[in-house]
Amino acid sequence: MLRKSLWVLSAFILVVQGLPNPNYDYSGDDYSYDDENGLVNEEEEMEMQYDINFLNIGNSQIVDKGTTIKLPCNVDMYPENFVVMWKKVEPGKSAEDILAMGDTILKQDSRFSVEINREGDKKGSTLVIALAEDSDAGHYVCQLGSNDKKELKHTITVRDPPSITKTPSNGLYEAHKGDDVTLSCVGSGKPKPTITWTRLNKKLPDGREKIEATELTFMNVNRRHAGHYRCTANNGYGTEVKEDIRLDVNYAPEVEVEEYFIHARESSKVELVCLVHAQPHATIHWFKNSVQLTEDNVTLENIGHKNTLTIPSLSHSDYGNYTCRAKNIHGESSKVLEVSGLAGFANFKSDAQGMEANTFLLEWTSESHTPIKEFELNWRKEDGDWEIFTVPAHRDNSIIWNGKWSFPDLEPATRYEARVLAKNTEGWSRPSPAYHFATFGAEPRTSPGSAPISKSHHRIVTALFVILIAKILYL
């Protein structure tokens, strides 16, 4: 139907421009005749006289949705009355959508226009499409004249800005400790955007800085999963889009202490610290021997997770056990700290891996504000019976005291353990945590929290032990 309408329109234009009329005198008009076709009008004569060519080539453009598309069709000459046609073609389809003839827009869409330039370096026709839409993607053809039908083709891809649909949509996910949690950010746009997850002000729970994924899933969550998570969508369209989701993990209080045993002397300032993590926030109370403490005789302070009890000037009556107790709607937790004038736990200085087959030198230090009179050393072969004896104490400085003992006649490649008590003017201290050591050829048992001995070190020690035994046997 469109082709027929265009044919009628063309015929009408030719009539208006002056097709031959038997009742009209053509002697004064600018028409000429040839031997075969008879009467030729000015436009046909111009097409026969001019060889018009393109000055640019077709290209492929990626344009952002909502922007303006400009498709140039530059020619080396653009005579008056010369017509350039614009059309949109679909691969595999015979039908063509005629958009413009010359400066006349045939497409019923106000976003389309044509810019004509007959002078200067950039003569030609430019198809202009304002506010690009998804439907504008495709192939556009600029066609010259009606005889040779020279064509130039542009290809347009319309790119949509990225957008994000997040779950939960309100940006808040409330979970309980032990739950499995999934945060979702689905990206939309053309091309489809990539989604990148980060966590504000800290790394992701697995230690990574970021991860590309549509969903973040955490199994058996705890307080370390809580925080603000950000998903970012990017498809190369201008500015990337971001959405935030806050994950709150509800859990009963978890209490940690910096020191379980606080060695202090009278008249000194003592500070007890406990760290409390809870969601929602917990109520904190301090107790001494089951009696709740108030600001009347101590200073209580809370800054973030840190809770502090300060005794400005310690008296002998202040020695004892102090409890930091935290409680919220999910439960409660507590830790006990001891303030004492007794000597501190022994700090062992010896390398746990012995280099001798039958002897081992054990060295340690202990802190005490009053003189340590002596140490008590408890030792045994692993899983054996304890042996106990006293060891002299020697002063290192005003509060540090040291002791040492060389074990003779030990068994080769055997594990042992020891613990130490110290006696000062306040009495005997509590036994230190067990210290594990071994004679040459054995690997000492790893104490909780200590780093295990490497396999390579163990192999070296074993090899040296074999060499030592071989020398002994040889001698």
Q: Which single residue is written with the structure tokens 């200067």?
A: 120
Ordered DSSP codes for 143-208: EETTTT-EEEEEEEEEEEEEEEEEESTTSEEEEETT--EEEEEEEEEESPPEEEEEETTS--TTS-
The encoded tokens of residue 37 equal 């076709």
Q: What whole-number distance in Å separates Cα of residue 251 and Cα of residue 280?
A: 7
pLDDT at 437: 97
pLDDT at 415: 96
Could you please state the CATH topology (level 3) that the domain comprising 258-340 is classified under. Answer: Immunoglobulin-like (2.60.40)
Spell out the alpha helix ranges (H) of 379-420: none
Pick from 323, 348, 334, 344: nearest CA to 262:
344
pLDDT at 91: 76
Cα torsion 447, 450, 454, 459: sign: negative
Using DSSP's 3-state secondary structure scheme, residue 261 falls into strand
- Which CATH number is 168-252's, of 3.90.226.10, 2.60.40.10, 2.60.120.260, 3.30.70.260? 2.60.40.10
Find the angle CA(247)-CA(251)-CA(256) to the nearest 5 degrees.
Answer: 110
pLDDT at 40: 45
pLDDT at 447: 57
pLDDT at 80: 84
pLDDT at 149: 78
pLDDT at 8: 32
pLDDT at 335: 96
CA distances from 113 to 80, 108, 270 (A): 19, 11, 84
pLDDT at 17: 38
Using DSSP's 3-state secondary structure scheme, residue 292 falls into strand
| Order of strands across the sheet that contains 291-292 | 261-263, 331-340, 320-328, 283-288, 291-292
Span(s) in the chain for CATH 2.60.40.10: 60-160, 168-252, 258-340
Rounded average pLDDT per 10-residue block, the chain, 475 residues: 39 35 40 43 54 91 92 91 90 81 92 92 93 93 80 92 94 96 94 95 95 96 96 88 97 94 91 96 94 90 94 93 96 96 95 95 95 97 94 94 96 96 94 95 72 44 49 50
Burial (0-12, 13-18, 19+ Cβ within 10 Å), 474: exposed
- Which CATH number is 60-160's, of 3.40.1390.10, 2.60.40.10, 3.40.50.2000, 3.40.50.300? 2.60.40.10
Q: What whole-number distance in Å separates Cα of residue 153 and Cα of residue 143?
A: 9
Q: How many C-beta atoms surround the C-beta of residue 311 within 10 A? A: 21
C-beta of residue 72 within 8 angstroms of C-beta of residue 130: no
